[in-house]
Structure 1
Amino acid sequence: MADHRRTLTLTAVLSALIVVSTVAAPMVSARPAHEIPVSEVSTADLAEPDADGWAEVPASDVPLSSAPSSVPNADDTSIETVDVQAARTDQRLYVRLEWQDATRDTNASTPRQFADAVAVQFPINTSSRPPIAMGGPDNRVNVWYWSGSTGTQELLAGGAGSTTPFQNPTVRTNASYTGTGGNATWAVVYSRQLDAPSENRTDLRTDGDLDVAFAVWNGSNGERSGQKAVSEWHYYPFSGGPQGPPYETLLWTLAGIAIVGVVGVTSFGIYRTRGAE
């Protein structure tokens, strides 16, 4: 009987350790799906992609896939992920995007040459999520676009084919290309003042969550226009309140409970077997 008690005691201790180890670790870093953290900073040394301040800003690995489009070869895209960082002062929002690209494509001077490019998309009406493909007529989007050949454009769109550039762009960008071959990367930093400088521009001084999406074009793969790698809608948690269920923690908790159940059933079987001896 004493051996049985020791077995059950050890089982209980083991079960408790499993629960703690499977739940506590992911709780440190878990965050809701599609949330991209935004660092609040008092001063910003973030205008350049290699600025020291970015070392303190967490990065999110955002998956990309071919955009649904009717253009030829729309499903032939090559960039699978983009690393996203964001920081906000009391005056400006900074967004840094970095992705791997083995070729530096900055020349689009002939019909068969296309430049590398990247874009950030925000809804103008921050209380409603627009269609992901360039918004819609009743729910338009702002697009911050950077190209290796033409630089920066600030765009207004209300659906595919409706893109219109602003005459006086307010978005600033800086870009860098580093490394060689498969280790080479582009990094682009966008920034804009928080207050909407004019009509039809997103107000970044919102107290609610701000939807955001991303697109990348690899020029050497012939990507341009609707042939691009895009993300789903993500969001910046500007509201500061509860952001929904921490999915990673929930999954680890369920895994811990399942393991405890297996250990418990096994121990009970051992107890019954020994009791019958």
Structure 2
Amino acid sequence: MNKPKRFHLIPACAVAAGLAFGTAGSVRAEPVVIKATQMSVAKDADNPRATVWKRAPRVTLPLVTAPAVHASITGTAITHKMTVQAIRTADKIFFRLSWSDPTRDATLDATTRFLDAVALQFPLDGDTGTSVLMGNTGKRVNVWHWRADNRVQNLFADGFGTLTPAPVQDVSGHGVYSRGGWSVVLSRSLKSQAEDGVQLGDIGRIPIAPAVWNGSNQERDGFKAVTMEWQSLVLKQ
């Protein structure tokens, strides 16, 4: 079987530079804890507007501009915070990601228009020592990526420049733009059939890291808003 081809990021994918967080020598902050609400049934949880989300606590994460990685793509990201909610059932995990955005950028142009987008990154082995710059050799990361045309990708990387679509595309996502902001749900089975998919069924806690892109601000690739460290997702309480 041929291995999936690795690719160089284009604006349509908008994840490539990796979720850039702390740099060498920086002081690490304590991670924000995101507790997944346990439910036997999470009716319509894949819908960002579903009432079930009223039962899941919101956690606010401050965001900053990621360190520049492309000399030709620089600027200041304009998304300064986002809220995260999580629901876990016996077999699935749902994340609801919300942030303010004055413009709905859901149409892509190869040179002048870029899409709003959001992503979550997980280290496959659950190790906070994994580089948040898209992992590193022997320390692979799994990235769940949604963009405003409702395209969702399941990706993996083991270092900068290695971002690759996973052979199994088992991540679902749906976004709604309303009242000057986005709400997006990313979901997947706790156990993935993908070799490069993070396994969430038998663990209690795992590092997690988000990123947000604002298309109207020309944000794409490594130009984005991020947290500077891994955060902590609690799956079992």
Q: TM-score, normalising length from structure 1?
A: 0.71
Offset of 1:202 from its aligned partner?
0.5
Offset of 1:69 from its aligned partner?
2.6
Query: In the alignment, residue 138 of structure 2 is paired with which amino acid?
Result: D
Alignment partner, residue 37 of structure 2:
39
Structure 1, unmatched stretches of 5+, are 1-31, 241-277
> Structure 1 residues 185 and 116, CA, compared in 2 at 3 Å: closer, same or farther?
same
- Per-residue CA deviation, residues 140-192 of structure 1 (Å, 9 max, x unaligned), is 1000001113610110111221100124310011110001xxxx110100110
CA contact (8 A) 1:66 1:74 kept: no
CA contact (8 A) 2:168 2:193 kept: no
Alignment partner, residue 67 of structure 2:
68
- C-alpha distance in 1, partners of 2:31/2:156? 28
Q: Indicate the SS of the match to 2:143.
A: strand
Alignment of 1:1-277 (within 5 A): 33-45=31-43, 46-71=45-70, 72-149=72-149, 151-179=151-179, 184-231=180-227, 232-240=229-237
CA contact (8 A) 1:67 1:74 kept: no
Q: TM-score, normalising length from structure 2?
A: 0.82
> Structure 1 residues 166 and 207, CA, compared in 2 at 3 Å: closer, same or farther?
closer
- Per-residue CA deviation, residues 225-266 of structure 1 (Å, 9 max, x unaligned), is 0001111210112353xxxxxxxxxxxxxxxxxxxxxxxxxx
- C-alpha distance in 2, partners of 1:120/1:127? 16
CA contact (8 A) 1:67 1:75 kept: no
CA contact (8 A) 1:64 1:81 kept: yes
- C-alpha distance in 2, partners of 1:218/1:43? 34
Bigger proportion of residues as strand: 2
Q: Number of residue pairs matched? A: 205
Offset of 1:35 from its aligned partner?
0.6
Cα RMSD, aligned residues only: 1.5
- C-alpha distance in 2, partners of 1:123/1:57? 24
Alignment partner, residue 249 of structure 1:
none
Runs of 4+ in 1 over 6 A off after TM superposition: none
- Per-residue CA deviation, residues 209-240 of structure 1 (Å, 9 max, x unaligned), is 11100000000000000001111210112353
Query: In the alignment, residue 172 of structure 1 is paired with which amino acid?
Result: S
Report the structure number with the largest CA radius of gyration. 1
Where relative contact order (Cα < 8 A, 6+ residues apart) is larger, the structure is 2
- C-alpha distance in 1, partners of 2:154/2:66? 20
Q: Indicate the SS of the match to 2:33.
A: coil
Bigger proportion of residues as helix: 1
- C-alpha distance in 2, partners of 1:107/1:79? 19
> Structure 1 residues 127 and 110, CA, compared in 2 at 3 Å: closer, same or farther?
closer
Identity of aligned residues (%): 36
